[in-house]
Amino acid sequence: LKITNFFNFSEKFPTFTQTEFVRKMVARARRFFRDKMERIKKERGIFIIIIYYYFYQYSIFH
């Protein structure tokens, strides 16, 4: 009975650590993208001007 309990525990344990790892990675990625989006919001005007400039050049030369 102790052996079966040990095997059940060892089966459950890795999945738990994996979900914890995934949760940490998702939280880290979400924080990273939130910082990126805040930066983009601040620089959005310049960003849009650059994009329009490139589209303008593309429409002229092609």
Q: What are the tens digits of pLDDT across the range 32-50? A: 888 887 877 777 777 788 8
- Measured distance CA(40)–CA(47) in Å, rounded: 8
- Measured distance CA(11)–CA(62) in Å, rounded: 61
36's enclosing H/E stretch is helix 2-42
- Measured distance CA(27)–CA(23) in Å, rounded: 6
With tokens 């102790």, the residue in question is 2
In this prediction, residue 24 has a pLDDT band, given cuts at 50, 70 and 90, of confident
Q: What's the predicted TM-score (pTM) here?
A: 0.36
- What pLDDT, on the 0 to 100 scale, is given for residue 38? 81
In this prediction, residue 5 has a pLDDT band, given cuts at 50, 70 and 90, of low
Per-domain boundaries in the chain: 2-61
